[in-house]
Amino acid sequence: MTQDYRKSPEAVSKLTPQQYAVTQEAATEPAFRNEFWNNHEEGLYVDIVSGEPLFASVNKYDSRSGWPSFTVPVEPANIVEKTDRTYGMVRTEVRSAHGDSHLGHLFDDGPAEAGGLRYCINSAAMRFVPLAELESAGYGQYAHLFTK
């Protein structure tokens, strides 16, 4: 089953002010004061706007940055990397491919044994789908990621 992930005016209109600022205006939420930085549940993180799958909890780790951090995206085609030159820095911005949501930034200071990348992602850009709800939420094809 192929899902049609896209940004719609209706989805954007349902965003909270924080979600809108992050996804549509490339804002950054406060470190350690966001929904998922310390979430240890098994499940899938999807774009808050389009629903496209982004990251799995099996690739989440504590970077001590105060934001959810992942070593790899669950679907690399759903991630777009762009050069970000704001604030006098050169960084790699991470956006969702279908929702065009600003998600966060990509850094090269992640765990070496997992490839060395750190996808530092704003909680406000994502919706968490717990493992027990993957099937009913239409993400059953990702359940295999959580079998040990």
Residues with catalytic annotation? 120
Torsion of CA 19, 134, 79, 108, to 10 degrees: 90
Distance from chain centroid for Cα 1: 22
Can you read off the two tokens belonging to residue 54?
């982004």
Contact 65, 77 (CB under 8 A): no
Q: Considering only CA atoms, which of 147, 142, 104, 145 is closest in space to residue 123?
A: 104
Q: Name every residue whose Cβ is closer than 8 Å to that of residue 143 and which is 6 or more positions away in sequence.
A: 131, 134, 135
